[in-house]
Structure 1
Amino acid sequence: MNLVLLPEQTDSTIWQINDARQVSHLKQHVDIKIGDQIKVGVLNQARYLAEVVEIQSNQIIVTPVEQQAIPNKLPVTLILALPRPKVLRRLIMDSVTLGVEKIVLLHSYRVDKSYWQTPFLEQLDHYIQLGLEQAGDVIAPTIFLEKRFKPFVEDRLSVWNHSQPTFVAHPYTTDAMPINFNQPCQLMIGPEGGFIPYEIALLKENGCHIHHVGNRILRTETAVSNILGRLFCA
């Protein structure tokens, strides 16, 4: 945890850290003391350097000292075929940490329908918080749940493609994924086993660009980091 992320605040002079996980981390791992300064973020508002003014058994009181810069987002909408529940947690956290601006979780032929019933989907806000705390960010990405592949591609993605490109990661094509693109775009990554031929054809018909990232078949979580690093080189 590189930043303590608080809910949105109306008082700008003194804040309470009362989340048990955060309090425990600050006491046990940071060994926080009165007068120490720590990084505190207010969700969807701003990031600050704050001073500890009081330590209680179940909460820590801080006051903001100075406002700090927020890390830049990547101008990308990440479209993911809904992964296995345990992978979903890691993917959301890592994507938020990397600075993804928007995330779409999408159904496709090879996505097991039971995945949409997982309680992990009810914990997305928690995974977002963990990702923001890791990155030192405070601006949460927007997440969309799309349970119908064809309507999403034809009704929404086709419109997005008029203003910025959609790159679809697919191992069975001859065109390589762009490098150092550094412009707004959509990145689409399929399920385990990849998109079926019908889905790839539909994506092409609606203006998407199909690209490979080499001759190795990557896990979804590996592909996300690999391709984002490729598209948005520093």
Structure 2
Amino acid sequence: MNLILLFADDFDAHGHAILRDSRRLDHICKVHRAKLGDTLRVGLVDGLMGSGEIIAMDGQLITLQVSLTEPVPPPSNIHLILGLPRPPMLKRTLQTIAALGVKQLTLLQSARVEKSYWQSPQLQPQKIHEELLLGLEQGCDTQFPTIHTAKRFRPFVEDQLPELIQDHDALLAHPYVTTPCPTSTNKPTLLAIGPEGGFIDNEIAMLSEAGFTGVTLGRRIMRVETVVPYLLGRLGG
């Protein structure tokens, strides 16, 4: 936890942040080994970052005197469109995209996505929130990504993509093309990554017709949890 995230309801009438939940208390006491008078790096959800001085603490709560003056890191310019991964991989991927500053993620049904994945507890709003929170704490950011779901491939491509793709570059990660993935991009970009096994040929054709350019990282076949941070880092997201 590189950043202690604060929520609006943590604050009392005097502007002090009162932490009562065991997760943050345990981390501050057992990992930071903080004591009275120490200063922690903090951030207000959807707001600024800064410092929090411990002005009171016991086994039940920690009170912080907070100063928020620092801007958050700039957001990624990439809207990630991702074939819905297996639930354990989704958990790790949500943390990764939050840590790397992605603010728009669309989880997409495709032919190689098991429909049962959509019933996973990992897709419950509270579980998504928990994984994104971990990623923000790791990456020192306060702004939660927005998660969209598209449970039907063709309607998404035909009805939603035309609006999304306006004023965007559109890249489709695919190992069996010859165009190398760019090493950076300053333009808003849609980045489509398939599920395990990739998009099928018909889906690739539809995405290409919609305006996506196939790009490759080389001949190696990578897991989703590997290729997502690799591509985001390469594109400068």
TM class, shorter-length: over 0.9
**Aligned-partner Cα distance in 2 for 1:65–1:43:** 14
Q: Aligned residues: percent identity?
A: 40
Shift of 1:66: 4.4
**Aligned-partner Cα distance in 2 for 1:140–1:200:** 30
Deviations 1:160-219 (A, max 9, x none): 222102111011112221222232101110011110001001111111111111110011
1:3 aligns with 2:3: yes
- The counterpart of 1:29, out of the listed 28, 31, 35, is 31
1:126 aligns with 2:133: no
- The counterpart of 1:88, out of the listed 68, 82, 90, is 90
- The counterpart of 1:146, out of the listed 145, 150, 153, is 150
Match of 2:190 in 1: 186
- When normalised by structure 1's length, the TM-score is 0.95
* Counterpart contact for 2:167–2:188, Cα < 8 Å: no
Paired AA for residue 222 in structure 2: L
Shift of 1:69: 2.5
- Corresponding residue SS for 1:39: strand
Q: Which runs of 4+ in 1 moved over 4 A?
A: 9-12
**Aligned-partner Cα distance in 1 for 2:218–2:175:** 7
**Aligned-partner Cα distance in 2 for 1:6–1:131:** 14
Deviations 1:16-73 (A, max 9, x none): 1122111001111111111111011111122121111111212211011342221111
**Aligned-partner Cα distance in 2 for 1:76–1:44:** 19
**Aligned-partner Cα distance in 1 for 2:216–2:181:** 6
**Aligned-partner Cα distance in 2 for 1:66–1:200:** 46
Match of 1:135 in 2: 139
- The counterpart of 1:49, out of the listed 40, 48, 51, is 51
**Aligned-partner Cα distance in 1 for 2:132–2:8:** 15
1:155 aligns with 2:193: no
1:174 aligns with 2:178: yes
**Aligned-partner Cα distance in 1 for 2:71–2:36:** 25
**Aligned-partner Cα distance in 2 for 1:75–1:101:** 8
Shift of 1:136: 1.0
Shift of 1:158: 2.1
**Aligned-partner Cα distance in 1 for 2:231–2:162:** 22
- When normalised by structure 2's length, the TM-score is 0.94
Match of 1:206 in 2: 210
* Counterpart contact for 1:153–1:206, Cα < 8 Å: yes
* Counterpart contact for 1:8–1:44, Cα < 8 Å: no
Match of 2:18 in 1: 16
**Aligned-partner Cα distance in 2 for 1:66–1:42:** 8
| Number of residue-to-residue matches in the alignment | 233
Deviations 1:131-171 (A, max 9, x none): 00011110111110111111111111122222102111011
How well do the aligned residues superpose, as a CA RMSD in angstroms?
A: 1.4
**Aligned-partner Cα distance in 2 for 1:107–1:52:** 47
**Aligned-partner Cα distance in 1 for 2:71–2:165:** 32
